[in-house]
Structures are given as structure tokens and as C-alpha cells.
């Protein structure tokens, strides 16, 4: 049995297009209607053919939907919710894929006060964006966190849960505020650090940009991969989850100061203890199946 028969996907970038591909692969018979604010994206999606229909407006896309997936930057949620408000079926479930949940829930509840809203966050992605970047297995064995409001119907939560499970995701249900704190540590702060390190390297006066690129070691290459992520999406994430990000940034700044002192005063034992602890965390991530233990982070050398 299909969790949903008519799915509207609003926003057809990496996540939206991957959802469409995954629905095609795992939910035969479900109809997919897509919309993107960019007409060139809509034209490309028609060429790629992963939607059954591509609408010219967000409202038209949701008219017959029983699930509406908002796959737009969190900063655009209010505007897109207002666009679909008059056309949204009363029995449709509205969900999203935003990286911050508290602000999204607040915006959607205010703009769509009668809607059945079950926010979600698939913890999956790549540094690529756009409709050509999507693929059906993006969510396989990755976590999708649902943050339903306290008054959500249990049946609605189960439907959205079944939808993501069909696409191969593992499900966690979490309070929105706690989600935002956890993701500030595991995703938002690392992206902020990556943007900063790559920007610092680019701005060094005594090291040319060509040398930074030519002699990039593995660590810096990994930072550049993260720093290549969609700038609009990440700008909106930091603005929408500012309290949790600032809290984690303060903690990080304090830890960085302690690290500076250890290096300055030749406290090798402190450095060794820290590096031993962080190495153990890396091993646990591999054991949990959240990364590849292959040499050189699984990079192909063919």
C-alpha cells in the first residue's frame, strides 16, 4: 500500500529531485507533480522526466496532493507557504526537508494554520545542487528526523514515517528544539568552520591561491567539498537556527582557545588525549555505517 498517491514536490534541486527519483523507484503508482520557482529548472525537469507533471505555479502543483513536500531553502518557507495556502487540500499533509526545524514549524503554522504539518529533515546530501544532481539512493540507510508538533495526529506521523522508510531512510522522531541543537553540532558548525577555513586560505597574502589549490592535502580538500555546498541554503540555515549555532560556536571558541594554550605551552599530553578521543568518535561513526572505512575516505584512484 502506498503511503501517498499524489505527491507535490515544491523545489526541484538536489533533495527535491532525489525524492522524485526515489518515489519513482520505490512507490510505483504514486503520481509526482513538481514545481520550482526558476523557469529554467522547470524546463530541465521536463527534459529529465522524473515528474509526471511540472506546474507553472506552486498553487497549481498542490491542488490534488495528499502530500506536499517543501524542498526550498528555509528562508523561502514563508513565501512558498503563502503561495500554496489557497489551493492546499484540507486533508493534505505538509512536510519539508529543512535543516532547521523550530523556525520552519513556526512559519508554517502561522501561514497555514489549518494544515496538517509534519516537519522532516533527511540528513543526507552532496555538495552538488540542481535537478541534475538528484538520484534515487540518496536517502538509503541515512537518517530522516521527524519533528511533529505536540498536537500532530499519530496517523499523520506514521504516514510520513512510512514514506521515508519506503525510500530507504532510517527514522528518528525528535523535539524540534533538540533537533536544532543536535544539528548545530553535527552539521551547521562544521559547515561554518569549513567556509571559514577555505576563506582564510583564499585570503592569505603570503600564499598564492594557485599554491593553495596545487598543494591541497586531504584535510583541506574535504573542507572545500563542504564549503562548495549551496550558498543560499546555508545562509538561510544559519539565519534560521542562529541561537543554537551561536551557542555551539561559543563552545567551539572556548575549546579552540584551550587548544591554542596547549600548543603554546607545549602540552603534548593534552593534545594526545584530545586526538585519541576524537579518533574514537571517528571509529564509532564508521561502526554505525555513517561513513566509509576504505582507505583515503573511499576515494577512487583509477
Domain boundaries, the chain: 6-174, 178-290
Q: What percent of the chain has pLDDT over 90?
A: 55
**pLDDT value, residue 301:** 36
Window from 55-59, 103-107, 163-167, 285-289 with minimum mean pLDDT = 285-289
For range 105-110, the mean pLDDT: 94
Q: How far apart are CA 141 and CA 121, in angstroms?
A: 14
For range 90-97, the mean pLDDT: 96
In contact, 190 and 248? CB cutoff 8 Å: no
Three state DSSP letters for the chain: CCCCCEEEEECCCHHHHHHHHHHHHHCCCCEEEEECCCHHHHHHHHHHCCCCEECCCHHHHHCCCCEEEECCCHHHHHHHHHHHCCCCCCCCEEEECCCCCHHHHHHHHHHCCCCEECCEEECCCCCCCCHHHCCCCCCCCCEEEECCCCCCCHHHHHHHHHHHHHCCCEEEECCHHHHHHHHHHHHHHHHHHHHHHHHHHHHCCCCCHHHHHHCCCHHHHHHHHHHCCCHHHHHHHHHHCHHHHHHHHHHHHHHHHHHHHHHHCCCHHHHHHHHHHHHHHHHHHHHCCCCCCCHHHHCCCC
What CATH number matches the domain at 178-290, 2.30.140.10, 3.30.450.20, 1.25.40.10, 1.10.3660.10? Answer: 1.10.3660.10
For range 142-162, the mean pLDDT: 95
Window from 20-29, 198-207, 218-227 with minimum mean pLDDT = 198-207
More confident residue, 258 or 93: 93
Task: Please give the angle made by the CA atoms of 151, 242 and 71, to the nearest 5 degrees.
Answer: 60
Q: What percent of the chain has pLDDT over 70?
A: 88
Query: For residue range 272-282, what is the model confidence (pLDDT) as tens digits?
Result: 888 888 777 76
For range 66-95, the mean pLDDT: 95
Q: Provide the pLDDT confidence category of residue 302 given band limits of 50, 70 and 90.
A: very low
Topology alike, domains 6-174 and 178-290: no
Window from 1-5, 24-28, 221-225, 245-249 with minimum mean pLDDT = 221-225
**pLDDT value, residue 283:** 72
Query: For residue range 37-79, what is the model confidence (pLDDT) as tens digits?
Result: 999 999 999 999 999 999 999 999 999 999 999 999 888 999 9
The architecture in CATH of the region 6-174 reads 3-Layer(aba) Sandwich (3.40)
Evaluate if residue 246 carries a pLDDT over 60.
yes
Evaluate if residue 299 carries a pLDDT over 50.
no
For range 206-229, the mean pLDDT: 68
Partnered with residue 116 across adjacent β-strands are 93
Residue 17, CA atoms < 13 Å, CB-side half-sphere: 23
For range 85-108, the mean pLDDT: 94
Evaluate if residue 297 carries a pLDDT over 60.
no
More confident residue, 218 or 61: 61
Mean pLDDT of the chain, nearest integer: 87
pTM: 0.77
Q: How far apart are CA 289 and CA 249, in angstroms?
A: 27
Amino acid at each position: 500500500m502506498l503511503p501517498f498517491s499524489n505527491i507535490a514536490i515544491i523545489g526541484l534541486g538536489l533533495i527535491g529531485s532525489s525524492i522524485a527519483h526515489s518515489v519513482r523507484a520505490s512507490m510505483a503508482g504514486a503520481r509526482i507533480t513538481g514545481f520550482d520557482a526558476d523557469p529554467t529548472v522547470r524546463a530541465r525537469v521536463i527534459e529529465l522526466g522524473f515528474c509526471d507533471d511540472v506546474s507553472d505555479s506552486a498553487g497549481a502543483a498542490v491542488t490534488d496532493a495528499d502530500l506536499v513536500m517543501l524542498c526550498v531553502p528555509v528562508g523561502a518557507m514563508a513565501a512558498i507557504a503563502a503561495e500554496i495556502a489557497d489551493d492546499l487540500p484540507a486533508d493534505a499533509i505538509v512536510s519539508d526537508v529543512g535543516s532547521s526545524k523550530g523556525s520552519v514549524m513556526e512559519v508554517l503554522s502561522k501561514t497555514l494554520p489549518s494544515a496538517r504539518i509534519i516537519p522532516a529533515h533527511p540528513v543526507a546530501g552532496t555538495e552538488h545542487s540542481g535537478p541534475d544532481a538528484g538520484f534515487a539512493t540518496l536517502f538509503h540507510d541515512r537518517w530522516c528526523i521527524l519533528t511533529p508538533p505536540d498536537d500532530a495526529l499519530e496517523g499523520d506521523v506514521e504516514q510520513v514515517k512510512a514514506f521515508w522508510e519506503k525510500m530507504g531512510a532510517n527514522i528518528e522522531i525528535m523535539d524540534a528544539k533538540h533537533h536544532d541543537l543536535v544539528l548545530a553540532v553535527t552539521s551547521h558548525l562544521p559547515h561554518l568552520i569549513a567556509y571559514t577555513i577555505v576563506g582564510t586560505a583564499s585570503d592569505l597574502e603570503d600564499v598564492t591561491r594557485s599554491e593553495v589549490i596545487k598543494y591541497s592535502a586531504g584535510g583541506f580538500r574535504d573542507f572545500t567539498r563542504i564549503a562548495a555546498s549551496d550558498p543560499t541554503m546555508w545562509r538561510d540555515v544559519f539565519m534560521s537556527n542562529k541561537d543554537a549555532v551561536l551557542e555551539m560556536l561559543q563552545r567551539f571558541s572556548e575549546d579552540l582557545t584551550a587548544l591554542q594554550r596547549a600548543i603554546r605551552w607545549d602540552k603534548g599530553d593534552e593534545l594526545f588525549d584530545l586526538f585519541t578521543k576524537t579518533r574514537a568518535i571517528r571509529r564509532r561513526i564508521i561502526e554505525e555505517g555513517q561513513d566509509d572505512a576504505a582507505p583515503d575516505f573511499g576515494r577512487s584512484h583509477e
